[in-house]
Structure 1
């Protein structure tokens, strides 16, 4: 008898082993696959943002820095760090401040106001030119590609609603997890009994 499975036996079992520590049940598998799709999408989105910005300006920015630039430009009104953190669902203020300094140094954003009246950020004339050119490249390359996929625009609307719902679920689960944080240092919690 051959040690190799027959063709029919080979096709009767899954081609990929999908069981792992975050996918012990079918429900866990569905959520885990979505989470890893989100991670890959986020990274792909970051790569796209970097390349699109590089196509229109001699400025290297990470995906989050690029997103920050476009959030500042949104609705053409100045934004505070608190506004930007809220809009991006972020709480890493030191990282936002670092990104803002980088955008200011690149001539894309300016800071105005004071501690008493409130500091706000807005795009410069150069920042406006860059974000407009970015929007043009985005339209020519990304939006045209999306429009060529049948029914994708409708599916994107559904996906956006689903992601907003999941954002709320993740935030609530994070708040609950924070209330159940184990006592002691990380080393004490991870130490085998």
Structure 2
């Protein structure tokens, strides 16, 4: 007597945070949004702990991201440039974080005509390099052996940028209602 296979062809229900939002047209979007929430919170926790391990404690996730951005390509950045690149509409949030980073001595503000620009100080660059070392040791080493995963991560990054445009457009549409 042979035993029949009992594998099921029914699809598992999506894992979501808000079942009331699941659309029959795209349950996958609700599943993606839940994954984005969980991943976003994990990422923010990671960057704060990574910077703390690098020696710069008590920063918010936005503070860490701004320090990295003002260090990026060793070019001075204006407040409006930082807001634009980071896709943050509330300039007060960025401005507050910049003032905090200036007070810590890791970012310098320089007046150029009517504008103020920001750049990482040597101390800020030192913390960023230490952050990089911690990141390499704790995060990148895990990915080192898996080229397929690295490719998937690159594809996912591109997809997230496309989806950010879709969410921005949807936000504009919702704001007009």
Q: What does 1:40-59 align with in structure 2 at a 5 Å threshold?
A: 40-59=38-57
1:88 corresponds to which of 86, 89, 95: 86
The answer to whether residue 151 in structure 2 is matched with residue 166 in structure 1 is no
Aligned partner of residue 120 in structure 1, secondary structure: strand
CA deviation after TM superposition for structure 1 residue 93, in Å: 0.5
Task: Give per-residue Cα distances to partners, 1:119-158, cap 9 Å, x unaligned.
Answer: 0011111001000111111112211112234511000111
Structure 2 unaligned segments of length 5 or more: list them: 1-5
2:133 alignment partner in structure 1: 136
Q: Higher RCO, 1 or 2 (CA under 8 Å, sep at least 6)?
A: 2
**Cα distance in 2 between the residues matched to 1:14 and 1:176:** 33
Structure label with greater radius of gyration: 1
**Cα distance in 1 between the residues matched to 2:133 and 2:60:** 20
**Cα distance in 1 between the residues matched to 2:169 and 2:107:** 33
Aligned partner of residue 59 in structure 1, secondary structure: coil
1:106 alignment partner in structure 2: 104
Change (3 A) 1:33 1:57: same
Structure 1 unaligned segments of length 5 or more: list them: 1-7, 181-193
**Cα distance in 2 between the residues matched to 1:78 and 1:111:** 9
Aligned partner of residue 155 in structure 2, secondary structure: helix
CA deviation after TM superposition for structure 1 residue 107, in Å: 1.1
TM-score by length of 2: 0.87
Contact 1:59–1:106, Cα closer than 8 Å, also in 2: no
Change (3 A) 1:147 1:59: same
**Cα distance in 1 between the residues matched to 2:15 and 2:107:** 48
Task: Give per-residue Cα distances to partners, 1:42-64, cap 9 Å, x unaligned.
Answer: 11111111111111114211111
TM-score by length of 1: 0.80
Change (3 A) 1:14 1:134: closer
Q: RMSD between aligned alpha carbons?
A: 2.2
CA deviation after TM superposition for structure 1 residue 77, in Å: 0.8
How many residues in Structure 1 have an aligned counterpart in Structure 2?
169
Contact 1:108–1:126, Cα closer than 8 Å, also in 2: yes
